[in-house]
Amino acid sequence: MILVITNKEDSHPTPVIQLLTARGISVFRLNTEALLTDYEFCWQNDAHHCDFTLTNIRNGLSVRGSEVTAVWDRRPEPPTELPLQSTEVVDKHNREEALGFLRFLRYYLKDVPSIGSIVYDRVAASKMLQTAIAQQVGLSVPDTCFSNRKADIVCFANQYEEIILKSIESDNIWNDAKEEEYIFYAQKASSSSLHDVPEEAFTQTVSYVQNYVSKAYELRITMVGCRVFACKIDSQCLDEDKGKTDWRQGYDYGLKYEVYDLPQDIADKCTRFLQLMHLNFGAFDFIVTPSGEYVFLECNPNGQWLWVELETGMKISKAIADFLQNPENS
């Protein structure tokens, strides 16, 4: 039995589950926000026995922990749905209790072959650690500075004509009052523009700054185990504020994608990167400069890939299904 730990809104598991089901492989999908409303669960430990059971009360499917042969930890959400509403304090407590069980469940399965991991994904998402590991495996990376001191950031930026400002953790903020999302895209700036920024703008957060690297085009490299799916993104055909600096802004402005033949040397270094991070999956972003240099930007340990499959026809769903079915051969 393969356990997919995800959420209701995520479309990525659907094609993978369909492939596995067509092969006769049993799959249990756990939509974690509905842990208390759509599932019954029990974990027991005594002198002779230690195991858990999960049952989907909507379709009757059950799984024991001892039956799980592979796990796909695919962006689970905290349990939010409740069978009955009580006071705000009690509801908050009940959700926190359910979240505690969910965290334990994910950790309990940490030694089962997996794509995604509660143990390693959070650490591997660190931009600072990624920069160090990328250099360790021989990848080129932009010069980088993290600091909450204006003097440090300005001193770093003064070495370059242009810099890139990025976020370290979350790329988005949700405004409950306005029910809208604000996304932090990478921003290009002149070094001199930082001089007039007030000191407190730096001291109340962590600034993440890199030297600007000229692009011929960009790559999204999705890796499943040792299997490589490289997609070329022609971001430089766009305007500055419509994807040229951050290609994610260019979805609606004619971005072009195509399958890319990645040099084996870069693929090998990405594989080694994943090994050092204890990952079986990674969504890498690279710049290819006008001179042909491959420059590592970041790796999302649980990144989006379905759009790459839909745009290029590369069979990433199949690769994930293959891994989950036979982890030892992937």
Provide mean pLDDT across the span 92-102. 95
Mean pLDDT, the chain, whole residue set? 91
Confidence class for position 287, pLDDT limits 50, 70, 90: very high
Confidence class for position 68, pLDDT limits 50, 70, 90: very high
Task: Find, among 123, 77, 325, 111, the residue nearest to 224 by Cα.
Answer: 325
Provide mean pLDDT across the span 69-86. 95
Q: What is the pLDDT of residue 328?
A: 85
Q: What is the pLDDT of residue 247?
A: 66
Confidence class for position 125, pLDDT limits 50, 70, 90: very high
Confidence class for position 252, pLDDT limits 50, 70, 90: low
Q: What is the pLDDT of residue 193?
A: 86
- The string of pLDDT tens digits covering residues 195-228 is 888 888 888 888 889 999 999 999 999 999 999 9
Distances (CA, A) of 175 to 180, 181, 249: 5, 6, 20
- The string of pLDDT tens digits covering residues 132-171 is 999 999 999 999 999 999 999 999 999 998 998 888 876 6
Domain boundaries, the chain: 2-116, 120-140+214-330, 143-212
**Topology of domain 120-140+214-330, CATH:** D-amino Acid Aminotransferase; Chain A, domain 1 (3.30.470)
Q: Name residue, tokens 């974990």.
A: 43
Q: What percent of the chain has pLDDT over 90?
A: 73
Q: What is the pLDDT of residue 2?
A: 98
Task: Find, among 206, 119, 212, the residue nearest to 168 by Cα.
Answer: 206
What is the H or E stretch that residue 246 is in?
none
- The string of pLDDT tens digits covering residues 1-10 is 999 999 999 9
| Dihedral angle sign, alpha carbons of residues 256, 258, 262, 268 | positive
- CATH architecture for residues 143-212: 2-Layer Sandwich (3.30)
Among the residue ranges 57-61, 80-84, 222-226, 252-256, the one predicted with the least confidence is 252-256
Residue 292 has pLDDT above 80, yes or no: yes
Confidence class for position 270, pLDDT limits 50, 70, 90: very high
Confidence class for position 187, pLDDT limits 50, 70, 90: confident
Q: What percent of the chain has pLDDT over 70?
A: 91
Among the residue ranges 173-182, 228-237, 305-314, 319-328, the one predicted with the least confidence is 173-182
Distance CA 235, CA 118 (A): 33
Q: What is the pLDDT of residue 165?
A: 87
Among the residue ranges 62-71, 99-108, 161-170, 319-328, the one predicted with the least confidence is 161-170
The model carries a pTM of: 0.90
Provide mean pLDDT across the span 78-106. 94
Neighbours of 120 (CB within 10 A): 17
Residue 33 has pLDDT above 80, yes or no: yes
What is the H or E stretch that residue 117 is in?
none
Judged on CB neighbours under 10 Å (0-12, 13-18, 19+), 267 is: middle
